[in-house]
């Protein structure tokens, strides 16, 4: 009896451990990367997104808002790898960049970054955005862009980008969205507003599933399978003119007599015809029989 009790306790302990390990594995490798459905402050979040000065290449597809700051490895990777997939799936990525506020008196953004963000929020210049994102952050000097520091209007725009991010984070917290950038917001097929803290690439696939975007561009599996493409039929050459043997005239074709207006005219002789590359040789005649005294030779 005592042995049965001990084995029962050990079995229960092992079962609890296995359940705990299984739940942790499910949460660590799957659940924590799933997007969050927004259940509170939907109207306020949508109003913020509509009023923000996002930049986009256009296309008019399903809008996908990507919020982040430029000097971020996760944001840079999302721009290079995931944004083209979303666009290939018919979505329209809309990028909203902000300047991070100072931390303990130390600036977290450069003057060139603040100047570029102010210019983008004022003009929504897609070409400027492309130039900026294709240049390493440390090498970007914002040449040709008006500085924001010392300009009251542009400094106000930079502060507005920071307030936008702070308000968006505040509205997303009741739904359980962590303030990790890039933040990606979109609406699924049923119209529900969803959000993803997509710093980890393992969460990108859920967005592609919702929007029907391909997992990779130019996937070989999307190529047509052999045998599914109809083969081209052999061309009909029944009406082609007959080919004559060398040295013989071309036989006339059967058919109705041509109209007088359609009778082909003989080509005009050229004044200076090109010299032939080889002298023309007359056709060789067949040998004639010659009769002699006793034998006929050919």
Burial bucket for residue 227 (CB in 10 Å: 0-12, 13-18, 19+): exposed
Name the DSSP letter for residue 222. G
pLDDT for residue 232 is more than 80: no
Rounded to 10 degrees, the C-alpha dihedral 217/219/222/223 comes to 110
How confident is the model over 120-135, as a mean pLDDT? 96
Q: In this predicted structure, what is the pLDDT of residue 224?
A: 46
pLDDT tier at 87, thresholds 50, 70, 90: very high
What the block records as the tokens of 53 is 């000065």
pLDDT tier at 220, thresholds 50, 70, 90: very low
Distance, in Å, from the CA atom of 202 to the CA atom of 184, rounded to the nearest integer, reads: 14
Q: In this predicted structure, what is the pLDDT of residue 2?
A: 76
Distance, in Å, from the CA atom of 90 to the CA atom of 62, rounded to the nearest integer, reads: 7
Reported as a single tens digit per residue, the pLDDT across 138-189 is 999 999 999 999 999 999 999 999 999 999 999 999 999 999 999 999 999 8
How confident is the model over 23-33, as a mean pLDDT? 56
CB atoms within 10 A of CB 122: 13
pLDDT for residue 76 is more than 60: yes
How confident is the model over 197-202, as a mean pLDDT? 90
Q: In which residue are the tokens 């529900």 written?
A: 192
């Amino acid at each position: 009896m005592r042995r049965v009790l001990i084995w029962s306790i050990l079995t229960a302990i092992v079962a609890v451990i296995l359940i705990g390990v299984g739940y942790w594995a499910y949460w660590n490798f799957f659940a924590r990367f799933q997007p969050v459905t927004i259940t509170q402050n939907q109207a306020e979040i949508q109003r913020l997104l509509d009023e923000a000065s996002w930049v986009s290449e256009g296309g008019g597809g399903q809008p996908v808002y990507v919020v982040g700051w430029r000097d971020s490895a996760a944001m840079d990777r999302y721009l290079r790898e995931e944004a083209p997939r979303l666009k290939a799936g018919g979505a329209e990525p809309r990028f909203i960049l902000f300047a991070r506020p100072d931390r303990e008196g130390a600036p977290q953004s450069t003057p060139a970054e603040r100047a570029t963000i102010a210019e983008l929020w004022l003009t929504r210049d897609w070409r400027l955005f492309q130039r900026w994102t294709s240049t390493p952050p440390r090498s970007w000097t914002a040449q040709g862009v008006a500085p924001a520091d010392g300009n009251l209007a542009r400094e106000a725009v930079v502060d507005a980008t920071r307030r936008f991010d702070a308000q968006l984070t505040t509205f997303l917290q009741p739904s359980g969205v962590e303030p990790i950038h890039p933040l990606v917001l979109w609406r699924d097929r049923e119209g529900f507003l969803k959000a993803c803290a997509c710093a980890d690439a393992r969460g990108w696939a859920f967005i592609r599933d919702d929007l029907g975007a391909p997992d990779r561009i130019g996937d070989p599996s999307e190529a047509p399978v052999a045998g599914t493409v109809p083969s081209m039929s052999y061309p009909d050459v029944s009406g082609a003119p007959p080919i004559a043997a060398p040295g013989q005239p071309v036989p006339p074709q059967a058919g109705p007599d041509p109209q007088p207006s359609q009778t082909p005219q003989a080509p005009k002789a050229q004044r200076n015809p090109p010299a032939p590359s080889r002298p023309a040789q007359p056709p060789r005649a067949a040998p004639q029989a010659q009769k002699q005294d006793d034998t006929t030779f050919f």
